[in-house]
Amino acid sequence: MTTNPSPALLTVTGLVKTYAGKRSLADQMRGKTAPRLTALDNVSIALNANEVLGIVGESGSGKTTLARCIVRLETPDHGSVFFDDRDVLSSSGIELRHIRRDVQMIYQDPYTSLNPRMRVRDAISEPALVHGLIDPAGKDSLIRELLERVGLPQTAADLRPRALSGGQRQRVAIARALALRPRIIIADEAVSALDVSIQAQILNLFADLIRELGLGMIFISHQLSVIAQLSDRVAILYLGRIVETGPTAQVFAHPRHPYTAALLKAHPSIETEKQRQPALKGEIPSPYAIPRGCRFNTRCAYAESRCFEQDPSAATISPGHQAWCHVLPALEGVG
Ligand code: SF4
């Protein structure tokens, strides 16, 4: 039997996900094969209980695909995903159903998980009833407990989503996820659409839930400031690859990959020693045409000839802090 290769709650190893692109009619007639889009290329992460792993990257970096592969909404081409000792990618039937119950997703738009016609009480209790975690007699106490836990008044139970603010709707989506007593929450841009003050409240709620319930959380965002606030460790994703990972405080204070440093430069509120790092230039290349060598070479101010030929391997900066760049030592003088 294949087992979890690490003691972590969740272990993702060597995940690869590609998609077939569309062929033009002319290409079809010429018998050309469809181009392939590489969304994830050899991505590995681990998550422990009581821990928040932040996943950062621009749009198109593969963040959401990673989340969808973990819960098997997408099937990766290669790699493995273990939740405890359960092999997620070879699970099916009741076992996969249990994994999906234990690993809950929270999205940017709460309407993704809320039926606009359903009252809050039903939205919260429905999944627990469907999974047999409560019987109808236990519905009211579950609703009371979860409304209190997510900071909503009891009167919200009888409202429909449209009567709630964006922040309140997100609290309902969180309560609905918690009703299934998950062990992991994957929050995909879950605060990106909210005002800054509401963002802070939801981040505080997440922090309380991690501490009180011992959850593990994967927190996906393009906003470094919210990652800095919530996550213990961070992985920086660029064109489907992790380019730097480590303890968030260390990576943000002393970034070693030019991409991380350039992202941080755009967030002056985050204290980092690399403020003289050149700003990020140009657009992220198409995932249909990933640059040869280091995939960041088209935007990197430090690129040298080997960056266009060789894929950089991991350099360990300190325990748990790694970066994939040929010229890391040259960056030490910046800042
Ligand atoms: Fe830049 Fe080269 Fe490092 Fe890639 S390997 S980030 S191109 S210096």
Higher pLDDT, 101 or 5: 101
Looking at residues 31-45, what average pLDDT do you find? 89
CA of 230 from ligand 1 middle (Å) equals: 28
Mean pLDDT across the chain: 91
Judge if the beta carbon of residue 296 lies within 6 A of ligand 1: yes
pLDDT digits (tens, 9 = 90+) for 51-96: 999 999 998 899 999 999 999 999 999 999 999 989 999 999 999 9
Judge if the beta carbon of residue 312 lies within 6 A of ligand 1: yes
Q: Is the pLDDT of residue 275 over 70?
A: no
* pLDDT at residue 234, as a whole number: 98
Residue having the nearest C-alpha atom to atom 6 of ligand 1: 325
Q: Which atom of ligand 1 is nearest to the CA of 294?
A: 4
pLDDT digits (tens, 9 = 90+) for 90-113: 999 999 999 999 999 999 887 777
Q: Which atom of ligand 1 is nearest to the CA of 301?
A: 1
> Any idea of the CA torsion for 135, 136, 138, 140, to the nearest 10 degrees?
160
Tell me how many degrees the CA angle 330-334-335 measures, rounded to the nearest 5: 160
Q: Which atom of ligand 1 is nearest to the CA of 328?
A: 3
User: Binning pLDDT at 50, 70 and 90, where does residue 281 land?
Assistant: confident
Of 33-37, 202-206, 314-318, least confident by mean pLDDT is 33-37
CA of 298 from ligand 1 middle (Å) equals: 9
Q: Is the pLDDT of residue 333 over 60?
A: no
